[in-house]
């Protein structure tokens, strides 16, 4: 798919056409998700490990896949992360200072802290992650950021660009972030989805087994099918509970 000559008109068409069901659902979930997480992050000192773990899951944040891969590290450093969230949301300090002052763990990066900024102040802050950056560059909407800029300075410029684009499109920053996802799906559908694809190899036919063996295999399959299962939030595959890792909702293959 070629790059649109008028990116603003293109983003409006994406918003109005509703061709991507997952994007439409993201937009519908906006108020519910923002209301919930604004309340949770309103008092960072009361944030719990359970709160943070749930926010990192798409089924709860309703917008961002993949954050759950950071769960184990962020919970291990929970006290530090909670302190950084408190500093991040302290509007008595300049935004660039707040971001540049963030420390360890490095997994508390812009993929995590910019969604927190969005859900706490949806009229002020947008999300800077690989999806939004790729889509903005593709559509010629990425700001000219100096190589010497700190991350805080860079985000300030990115956020300014997000605000301008949102105003031009006539939409809010949550919806705009969903539109970046739609744009990436249309222009490069394999880039962001290859990790979620499940490739099933073609296996050669096996020799005929004795009837007794077939009966045992059928019984084994029946027991396996009735066992409790869960959906891995990394590979999105239904697996038996015995394959669950120590990381919540992640299978041992993805942990």
255: in domain: no
The pLDDT value recorded for residue 63 is 94
Least-confidence region, from 49-63, 97-111, 166-180, 201-215: 201-215
The pLDDT value recorded for residue 39 is 96
Total domains, the chain: 2
Average pLDDT value over all residues in the chain: 84
The pLDDT value recorded for residue 41 is 97
DSSP class of 244: B
Buried b (16+ CB within 10 A) or exposed e, 66-97: bbbbbbbbbbebeeebbebbebbbeeeeebbe
The pLDDT value recorded for residue 255 is 74
The pLDDT value recorded for residue 192 is 55
39: in domain: yes
pLDDT band at 233 (very low <50, low <70, confident <90, very high): low
195: in domain: no
Where does residue 137 rank: exposed (0-12), middle (13-18), buried (19+ CB within 10 A)? exposed
The pLDDT value recorded for residue 4 is 76
pLDDT band at 241 (very low <50, low <70, confident <90, very high): confident
Let me know whether 176 and 224 are in one domain: no
Let me know whether 173 and 219 are in one domain: no
244 versus 36: which is more confidently predicted? 36
Least-confidence region, from 77-86, 105-114, 243-252: 243-252
Domain coverage including residue 214? 208-243
Task: Please give the radius of gyration of the chain, using alpha carbons only, rounded to the nearest integer.
Answer: 22
Rounded distance between C-alpha atoms, residue 34 and residue 28, angstroms: 11
206 versus 249: which is more confidently predicted? 249
81: in domain: yes
Least-confidence region, from 59-63, 92-96, 167-171, 247-251: 247-251
What is the model's pTM? 0.74
Let me know whether 144 and 58 are in one domain: yes
């Amino acid at each position: 798919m070629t790059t649109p000559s008028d990116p603003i008109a293109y983003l409006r068409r994406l918003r109005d056409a509703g061709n991507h069901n997952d994007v439409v659902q993201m937009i519908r979930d906006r108020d519910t998700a923002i209301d919930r997480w604004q309340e949770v992050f309103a008092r960072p000192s009361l944030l719990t490990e359970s709160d943070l773990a749930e926010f990192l899951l798409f089924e709860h944040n309703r917008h961002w896949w993949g954050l759950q891969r950071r769960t184990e590290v962020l919970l291990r450093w929970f006290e530090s992360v909670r302190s950084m969230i408190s500093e991040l949301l302290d509007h008595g300090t300049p935004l660039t200072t707040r971001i540049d002052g963030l420390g360890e763990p490095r997994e508390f990066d812009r993929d995590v802290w910019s969604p927190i900024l969005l859900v706490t102040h949806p009229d002020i802050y947008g999300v800077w992650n690989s999806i939004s950056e790729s889509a903005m560059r593709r559509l010629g909407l990425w700001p000219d950021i100096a190589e010497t800029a700190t991350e805080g300075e860079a985000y300030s410029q990115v956020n300014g660009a997000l605000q301008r684009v949102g105003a031009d499109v006539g939409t809010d920053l949550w919806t705009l972030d969903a539109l970046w996802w739609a744009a990436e799906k249309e222009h490069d559908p394999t880039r962001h989805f290859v990790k979620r694809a499940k490739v099933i190899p073609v296996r050669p036919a096996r020799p005929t087994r004795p009837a007794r063996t077939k009966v045992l295999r059928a019984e084994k399959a029946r027991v396996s099918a009735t066992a409790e299962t869960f959906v891995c939030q990394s590979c999105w595959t239904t697996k038996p509970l015995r394959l669950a890792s120590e990381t919540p909702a992640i299978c041992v293959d993805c942990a």
